[in-house]
Amino acid sequence: MPTSTIRVAIAYHSGFGHTAKQAEAVARGAALVAGTQVELHNVAELTDELWAALDQADAIIFGAPTYMGSPSAAFKAFAEGTSKIFADNMRWKDKIAAGFTNSQTISGDKLNSLIDFAILAAQHGMHWVNLGLYAGWDTSTGSIEDMNRLGSWLGAMAQSNADAGPESAPPKSDLQTAEALGRRVALVTQQWVRGRATSADEQLKEEQQAYATAATRRHQDQGN
């Protein structure tokens, strides 16, 4: 089956550049999958162009820093802005969704942000994709170099020290984890888009066969 082009949009906010670096890593991972068009969208400004681009995407990956235990205020404004899309017959229904977040501390209650993203996706009727990686740094021989070192499964987590700028944080392992999320989303999205197209083709064939069968019966009845 030929590879159909899919569109993966990364809708993110970054306060100091660390989450932007994580978003770029997600984009790199998605771009590794042939036939994937990747777009990065900073949601700090809610423009008509932003909404149009997200409407056209097959998958939307949400990302924001975790501040005081929840997504940044700018991302929350974006999330609330999607209520118009929800009200318009759930325009994002059946798109693929996923999420990532970064905070200063190892925990930072980042899971709360990922849950916010997942609930946002659920309200829109989207299909959530998890990280799909085994946890790292969970043995005496593990280290900060392990992928998924923060032990997250709902989405990708990263941690950036308070005194480290985006040129050195998040660490390489967290960015590799973000890349893995992007690649997984692109693969799942291709499977979903192809499967949906195949299902539609099969349904059309069934309808055409049923029409042909009905026409044949009508012709036979008229002959009798």
φ, ψ of residue 148 in degrees (nearest 5): 50, 40
Q: Which domain holds residue 218?
A: 6-223
1 within some domain: no
Nearest to 124 by CA among 81, 89, 86: 86
β-bridge pairing 36-42 and 156-159: unpaired
**Band (213; pLDDT cuts 50, 70, 90):** low
CATH number for the domain including 124? 3.40.50.360
Tell me the mean pLDDT in the region 189-213.
69
Residue 178's Cβ-side half-sphere holds a number of Cα atoms within 13 Å equal to 29
Tell me the mean pLDDT in the region 179-205.
84
Tell me the mean pLDDT in the region 72-79.
98
**pLDDT tens for each residue of 93-117:** 999 999 999 999 999 999 999 999 9
- Contact between 98 and 59 (Cβ < 8 Å): yes
Number of domains the chain contains: 1
User: What pLDDT is recorded for position 1?
Assistant: 41
Q: What is the pTM of this model?
A: 0.88
The one-character DSSP state at 3 is P
User: What pLDDT is recorded for position 224?
Assistant: 60
- Given CA atoms 25, 26, 32, 38 in this order, what sign does their dihedral have? negative
Element housing 40 (H / E): strand 36-42
User: What pLDDT is recorded for position 198?
Assistant: 73
Note the Cα 213 to chain centre separation in Å.
43
Note the Cα 37 to chain centre separation in Å.
13
Residues above pLDDT 90, as percent of the chain: 85
**pLDDT tens for each residue of 2-49:** 457 999 999 999 999 999 999 999 999 999 999 999 999 999 999 999
* Confidence check: pLDDT of 202 > 60: no
Which neighbouring-strand residues pair with 10? Answer: 40, 61
User: What pLDDT is recorded for position 131?
Assistant: 98
User: What pLDDT is recorded for position 2?
Assistant: 43
What radius of gyration do the chain's Cα atoms show? 21
The one-character DSSP state at 90 is -
What mean pLDDT value characterizes the chain? 92
Residues above pLDDT 70, as percent of the chain: 87
User: What pLDDT is recorded for position 206?
Assistant: 53
